[in-house]
Structure 1
Amino acid sequence: MKSLTKRSLALMGGALIVTAGWLGVRQARGSDHADTPQIAAAPGTDLTDVFVFPSPTNSNNVVLAMCVSPLIPSGGTRAFDPDVLYQFKIDNTGDNVEDLVIQARFEGVGTDQKVFISGPVVPPRTGTMSEATTPYATSGVFNGTFTPTSGMQVFAGVREDPFFFDLEQFFTILPDRATPITGTAVPLADANKPKATTWRAAGSAKDFLAGYNVLSIVVELPKSALKSSSGKIAVWCTTSK
């Protein structure tokens, strides 16, 4: 289905937390890529982006997508962490507490991983504590699309990183930051390389993430499954060891 393609993810830009009405989207922009040595050492827990958008092929459906495990070189391979619980959390009442969760778990290593999905279901716990729920009997495979339950389609695997970021210019504006590759701080600007105060002009930015991939979990399902009486939902994602 088109909603699970690399292009559809790339079109969304970077959205970390999204509140979506069925007729429009209000989004908070942000992204994280190995911002600390600790998170860089555990890429399976590193959430980079969250996306919510209407299905391009079915007006009754909505697509939820999370990206994790950044900075995979083009042509490289990396699997999901089987010790991590990946969750979409959905608030459909406006109180900023999850009313439903969709959970993804993985079994095995490498490209032979199996994918297990549960939800949308009322979570056993809310807030900072998480508990796995019983997955559907139908499982999927890494880099494949499958239907765990009627009306839902899921993809879990490698996609091109959809986030555009001019890291070089960012470090000239805010130096003394750890790079996402090495974890080593960039030296403070000096007289030979003064700090910048703005981003580059449109069309001249350099996409640091070009050529890098992420792992994506993409779920398409009916809007009615999210049980919002107001027509609005708030969505965020978590990774839990």
Structure 2
Amino acid sequence: MKKTTKIAMGLGVLTLGAIALISADHIDAPSTAGSTADIADFYAFEPSEGSDNTVFVVDVQSNVLPDLAYGTFDEDVLTEINIDLDGDLVEDQVIQAIARDGRMYFFGPTAPDQTGLSSQILADYPLGDVEISGATAMVETTSDGVSLFAGPRQDPFFFDFFQFNAVISPETDSAPEGFLPPEEASDTFDGANTMSIIVEIPNSMLGTPTATNALGLTVYKTWVTTNRKQ
């Protein structure tokens, strides 16, 4: 019998997987924006050309500033990486991560008990666990060749947020020059951290990818959700 824990629906952001992936926009729906379930970025890529592994990176809590010390993962939030193997945009495999007592526990990859907006912790399919990092990065590699990390990382999102606000302002003359060139733009997120969950895993554990990206490369269709316990 499967040991499962019911988790009520949270809110997620989806991004298709690719060799070089797009980040999310740091602006989510009001129910999650600025919360411990807020997804900032999601990346999926090969660690090197021709590698047989895939790396998944999920960044949550995009407002973890240095003067706030290190953020913490919410133990009531389940993060789930969803993988579609047959092109129907329904998850066929999931990798789950949830924090407990200073460690991040991972489960999967396996077919979920249910698809869609509700999730259950798949406790019968432990993948591994790792100490949540502080000032020193802690990485755990399992006997299956899976590498795991959880902790603060510098926010990778480069965005001149204040110039953006000026450009979209109803005051038509607030930014007549429009967006600034890279050498003049300010990185609003410079020095800020996100709380990152990272999994590097052999493709043999995921199944065969069937999607093709804009570069003609075969990739996984993948997205991430966060689900809050209720």
1:55 aligns with 2:53: no
Secondary structure of the 1:39 match is coil
Counterpart in 2 of 1:219? 199
Counterpart in 2 of 1:106? 99
Task: Extract unaligned runs of 5+ from structure 1.
Answer: 1-14, 176-187
Between stretches 230-239 and 153-162, larger displacement belongs to 230-239
Counterpart in 1 of 2:85? 92
- TM-score, normalized by length of structure 1? 0.75
Contact 1:114 1:140 in 2 (8 A): yes
Distance 1:57 1:95 in 2: 27
Counterpart in 2 of 1:232? 219
CA offset digits 1:48-84 (Å, max 9, x no partner): 0000111139811110100001111125111100000
Distance 1:28 1:55, change over 3 A: closer
The alpha-carbon deviation at position 19 of structure 1 amounts to: 2.8
Number of aligned residues: 203
Secondary structure of the 1:132 match is strand
Contact 1:93 1:228 in 2 (8 A): no
Contact 1:87 1:104 in 2 (8 A): yes
1:205 aligns with 2:188: no
Distance 1:79 1:205, change over 3 A: same
The alpha-carbon deviation at position 229 of structure 1 amounts to: 5.1
Distance 1:159 1:19 in 2: 21
Q: 2:63 aligns with which of 59, 71, 93?
A: 71
| Cα RMSD for the two superposed structures | 2.5
The structure whose residues are more often helix, as a share, is 1
Contact 2:23 2:43 in 1 (8 A): no
Q: Which has the higher contact order (CA 8 A, sep 6+)?
A: 2
Paired AA for residue 222 in structure 2: V
Distance 2:32 2:106 in 1: 28
Counterpart in 2 of 1:141? 131
Contact 1:159 1:215 in 2 (8 A): yes
- TM-score, normalized by length of structure 2? 0.79
Over the matched positions of the two proteins, sequence identity in percent amounts to 29
Q: 1:80 aligns with which of 55, 73, 87?
A: 73
